[in-house]
């Protein structure tokens, strides 16, 4: 009998904090868009309305944000006709008819411009091209001009312009009016797809002497980064150090212009915390500290294939949080569960950059031996796979009589294996010293009290409250709280009068089942609390079967996207008193005499079989309970 292997796993998780400026300077952490169209129109001296709103790029969302119809949105599409750029200005609900365009231009060939060509011809990114681009031929579709007021983006995703059509035409140069749009309309729903739109800054444009490491430049700590790190520490039940300082971690690499990284070594912001897995197991949090993100290395032809490397210092100095666990995890599956739990907590705090990826350094050892570290693993499935492979590899090495030496490895997601990178450096190799350019930080009791008071209700707390307040099962409460958006959707349905238990069951089973099947998230689809509230009310009042409710959810999320209630009414799938149940029951019994005999002989499953046939014949428009009652009455039971 083989001896049981003792496994110890510790994780180091890195994530970017969502601050507007970098950790030690005032450089922005993302490209700052400019409403240049507003400035352009002001210089022209024309009248218009400037509207600020949330980030949008799709016509349907732009229309909603600016209070106009989709047909009033003047979208500008960049094409290339016979090698010349053309700007087609159409209403937001129509496509370009390329044959019409060819005829109007008397051209032999036309194609949509690539994103590189769009940038070259207009200076804009795809999705943010306004009609007012000087020096390029423009064709306005005559259908668009049936509207008196037109609207388009102001050069950024968060603002738009509303203007009289006659004023716009006077402003545009090299412009022609023609019939170039399709006859059919584009059918979209607001929020149908998630819009993730960010303007990528040109390389090395978001930097200054501090983040470039120029001699004499002095870092100044970003208070917001400390606040976010403190919130993370409190959420992970850590002790918050009221006094801490920053250190220099010395190493020489092209991505670190200072030749050292500003980090925390001796005293972090937070330490000695813990979280609990679903089975109640406690996982220790060793520390959470803030540090400087190195620059980005760009390998033009790919890693190992490029003859040179480019460096983009835009990332240099971005604020990172590093969370280090104790080696309390004992399996790759536990590591993945912990990562899901941590991501959920961080999501509730809303302190990370949108769409940031958690990068993980995985440390694993067996039977008290030396550990290996797998660097920069992205994705929770990849974390589990990397640890699974490394665990098997170490077991095999020990079985062969080899000794595991401390070293660093990399995980290849395509092959699913880890490969050795280098022998692991020790802490002494980095020559940590106190950073003399930065003063000691002292957190006041007022700051700590205020930060703690601002913490939102966290997943574990909310799950317990939902169980107590609404008598939900532990499973339903945990699932609802495993995703911030899902929990908010539940709250909204209940706040509008929906039955909590029914709403929980609908969200955790039917809605999540469809989302998971289609690899979607709530952010990807236009699910509205009002629409699901109607379905919850139908379910709670017994007016729709579970089967038909499920079908309406599938249609709502992945089908034609009409509301569940509309779908059920349109297809006559609601439970109706007008259904001739006696006729259906008689038909089913006459066609299944054997099942009737079996039930009379004591086979209870035959009754359920007959009930299922009746439900199918009635298309779910009668309640299962009523069907069973009618069958039992008929059989005299």
Q: What is the pLDDT of residue 97?
A: 94
Q: What is the pLDDT of residue 600?
A: 67
Give the single-character DSSP code of 454: T
Please check the confidence at residue 273 and state whether its pLDDT lies above 90: yes
Q: What is the pLDDT of residue 418?
A: 93
362-373 residue pLDDT tens: 999 999 889 999
Residue bearing tokens 């660097």: 375
Instruction: Please enumerate in sequence order all residues whose Cβ is within 8 A of that of 288, keeping only pairs 6 or more positions apart, or say none.
Output: 229, 232, 233, 236, 238, 268, 269, 270, 271, 273, 321, 322, 323, 324
- Give the sign of the dihedral formed by CA 68, CA 74, CA 77, CA 81: positive
Let me know: does 253 contact 430? Beta carbons within 8 Å. no
283-303 residue pLDDT tens: 999 999 999 999 999 988 877
137-141 and 175-178 strand pairing: parallel
pLDDT class for 424, splitting at 50, 70, 90? low
Question: What percent of the chain has pLDDT above 70?
Answer: 90
Q: Average the pLDDT over 71-85 and give the result.
A: 94
In the 3-class helix/strand/coil scheme, how is 333-375 assigned residue by residue? Answer: HHHHHHHHHHHHHHHHHCCECCCCCCEEEEEEEECCCCCEEEE
Question: What percent of the chain has pLDDT above 90?
Answer: 67
Q: List the domains of the chain with CATH numbers.
A: 13-31+202-356+429-456 (no CATH), 36-178 (3.90.960.10), 359-424 (no CATH), 471-570 (no CATH), 581-634 (1.10.10.410)
174-220 residue pLDDT tens: 899 999 999 988 876 544 444 444 456 788 989 999 999 999 999 99
- Could you tell me the two tokens for 621? 């428009």
pLDDT class for 32, splitting at 50, 70, 90? low
Identity of the highest mean pLDDT range in 70-74, 118-122, 430-434? 70-74
DSSP string, 585-614: HHHHHHH-HHHHHHHHTT-HHHHHHHHHHH
378: enclosing H helix or E strand: strand 372-378
* 224 compared with 593, residue with greater pLDDT: 224
C-alpha dihedral (244, 248, 249, 251), degrees to nearest 10? 170
Please check the confidence at residue 312 and state whether its pLDDT lies above 50: yes
| Stretch among 279-283, 351-355, 505-509 having the lowest mean pLDDT | 351-355
In the 3-class helix/strand/coil scheme, how is 210-242 assigned residue by residue? Answer: CCCCCCCCCCCCCHHHHHHHHHHHHHCCCEECC
Instruction: Please enumerate in sequence order all residues whose Cβ is within 8 A of that of 243, keeping only pairs 6 or more positions apart, or say none.
Output: 267, 440, 441, 442, 443
Angle at CA of residue 427, ends 426 and 433, nearest 5°: 150
Taking each helix axis from N to C end, the angle separating 445-453 and 223-235, rounded to the nearest 10 degrees, works out to 60
Cβ burial of 13 (10 Å; 0-12, 13-18, 19+) is buried
Q: Average the pLDDT over 550-572 and give the result.
A: 88
Please check the confidence at residue 582 and state whether its pLDDT lies above 90: no
Beta partners for residue 409, in sequence order: 374, 420
Residue bearing tokens 């008196």: 148
| Stretch among 119-128, 221-230, 316-325 having the lowest mean pLDDT | 119-128
Residue bearing tokens 């510790």: 10
Q: What is the pLDDT of residue 431?
A: 87
pLDDT class for 489, splitting at 50, 70, 90? very high
Q: What is the pLDDT of residue 81?
A: 93
Q: What is the pLDDT of residue 199?
A: 54
Q: How far apart are CA 54 and CA 65, in angstroms?
A: 7
C-alpha dihedral (120, 122, 128, 130), degrees to nearest 10? -170
243-244 and 247-250 strand pairing: unpaired
Buried b (16+ CB within 10 A) or exposed e, 406-426: eebbebeeeeeebeeeeebee
Let me know: does 569 contact 580? Beta carbons within 8 Å. no
- Kindly list the distances between the CA atom of residue 549 and the CA atoms of 270, 305, 544, 567, in Å, as whole numbers in the listed order: 48, 54, 6, 10
495-550 residue pLDDT tens: 999 999 999 999 999 999 999 988 888 877 878 899 999 999 999 988 888 888 99
Cβ burial of 379 (10 Å; 0-12, 13-18, 19+) is middle
Q: What is the pLDDT of residue 51?
A: 94
Q: What is the pLDDT of residue 194?
A: 42
Q: Average the pLDDT over 41-45 and give the result.
A: 94
587-621 residue pLDDT tens: 777 777 777 766 666 767 777 777 777 677 666 66
pLDDT class for 578, splitting at 50, 70, 90? low
147-179 residue pLDDT tens: 999 999 998 888 999 999 999 999 998 899 999
Q: What is the pLDDT of residue 472?
A: 96
Beta partners for residue 51, in sequence order: 160
Q: Which pairs count as long-range contacts for 357-362, CB under 8 Å and 24+ apart, including other chains? A: 357/15, 358/13, 358/14, 358/15, 359/13, 359/14, 359/15, 360/11, 360/12, 360/13, 360/14, 361/11, 361/12, 361/14, 362/9, 362/11, 362/335, 362/386, 362/387, 362/390
Please check the confidence at residue 245 and state whether its pLDDT lies above 90: yes
Single pTM value for the model: 0.76
pLDDT class for 580, splitting at 50, 70, 90? low
* 256 compared with 187, residue with greater pLDDT: 256
pLDDT class for 422, splitting at 50, 70, 90? confident
Let me know: does 413 contact 382? Beta carbons within 8 Å. yes
Q: What is the mean pLDDT of the chain?
A: 89
Q: What is the pLDDT of residue 467?
A: 96
């Amino acid at each position: 009998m083989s001896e049981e292997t003792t496994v110890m796993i510790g994780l180091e998780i890195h994530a970017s904090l969502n601050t507007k400026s970098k950790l030690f300077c005032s450089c922005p952490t993302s490209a700052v868009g400019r409403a240049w169209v507003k400035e352009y129109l002001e210089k022209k001296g024309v009248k218009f309305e400037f509207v600020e709103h949330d980030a949008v790029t799709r016509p349907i969302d732009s229309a909603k944000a600016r209070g106009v119809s989709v047909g009033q949105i003047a979208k500008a599409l960049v094409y290339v006709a016979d090698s010349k750029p053309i700007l087609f200005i159409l209403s937001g609900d129509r496509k370009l008819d390329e044959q019409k365009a060819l005829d109007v231009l008397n051209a032999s060939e036309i194609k949509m411009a690539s994103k590189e060509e769009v940038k070259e011809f207009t200076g804009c990114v795809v999705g943010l091209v306004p009609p007012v681009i000087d020096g390029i031929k423009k064709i306005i579709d005559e259908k668009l001009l049936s509207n008196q007021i037109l609207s388009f983006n102001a050069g950024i995703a968060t603002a738009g312009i509303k203007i009289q059509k006659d004023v716009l035409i006077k402003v545009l140069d090299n412009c022609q009016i023609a019939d170039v749009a399709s006859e059919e309309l584009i059918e979209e729903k607001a929020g149908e797809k998630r819009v993730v739109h960010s303007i990528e800054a040109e390389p090395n444009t978001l930097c200054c002497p501090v983040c470039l490491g120029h001699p004499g430049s002095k870092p100044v700590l970003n208070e917001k980064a400390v606040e976010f790190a403190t919130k993370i520490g409190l959420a992970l039940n850590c002790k918050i150090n009221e006094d801490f300082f920053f250190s220099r971690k010395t190493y020489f690499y092209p991505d670190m212009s200072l030749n050292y990284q500003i980090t925390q070594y001796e005293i972090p912001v937070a330490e000695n915390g813990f979280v609990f897995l679903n089975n109640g197991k406690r996982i220790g949090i060793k520390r959470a500290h803030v540090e400087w993100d190195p620059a980005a290395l760009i390998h033009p032809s790919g890693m190992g294939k490029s003859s040179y490397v480019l460096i983009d210092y835009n990332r240099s100095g971005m604020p990172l949080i590093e969370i280090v666990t104790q080696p309390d995890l004992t399996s790759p599956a536990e590591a993945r569960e912990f990562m899901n739990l941590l991501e959920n907590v961080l999501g509730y705090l809303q302190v990370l950059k949108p769409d940031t990826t958690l990068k993980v350094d995985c440390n694993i050892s067996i039977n008290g031996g030396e550990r290996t570290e797998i660097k920069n693993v992205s994705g929770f499935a990849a974390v589990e796979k990397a640890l699974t492979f490394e665990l098997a590899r170490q077991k095999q090495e020990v079985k062969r009589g080899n000794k595991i030496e401390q070293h660093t490895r990399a995980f290849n997601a395509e092959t699913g294996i880890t490969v050795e990178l280098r022998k692991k450096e020790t802490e002494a190799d980095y020559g940590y010293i106190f950073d003399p350019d930065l003063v000691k930080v002292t957190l006041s009791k007022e700051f700590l009290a205020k930060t703690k008071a601002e913490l939102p209700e966290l997943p574990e707390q909310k799950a317990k409250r939902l169980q107590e307040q609404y008598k939900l099962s532990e499973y339903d409460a945990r699932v609802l709280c495993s995703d911030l958006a899902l929990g908010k959707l539940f709250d909204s349905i209940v706040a509008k009068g929906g039955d909590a238990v029914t709403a929980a069951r609908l969200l955790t089973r039917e809605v999540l089942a469809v989302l998971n099947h289609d690899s979607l998230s709530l952010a990807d689809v236009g699910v509205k609390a009002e629409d699901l509230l109607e379905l919850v009310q139908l379910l709670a009042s017994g007016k729709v079967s579970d089967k038909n409710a499920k079908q309406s959810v599938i249609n709502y999320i992945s089908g034609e996207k009409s509301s569940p209630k509309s779908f059920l009414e349109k297809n006559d799938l609601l439970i109706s008193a007008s259904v001739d149940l006696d006729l259906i029951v008689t038909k089913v019994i006459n066609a299944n005499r054997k099942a009737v005999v079996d039930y009379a002989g004591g086979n209870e499953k035959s009754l359920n079989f007959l009930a299922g046939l009746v439900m199918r014949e009635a298309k779910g428009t009668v309640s299962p309970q009523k069907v069973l009652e009618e069958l039992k009455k008929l059989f005299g039971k």
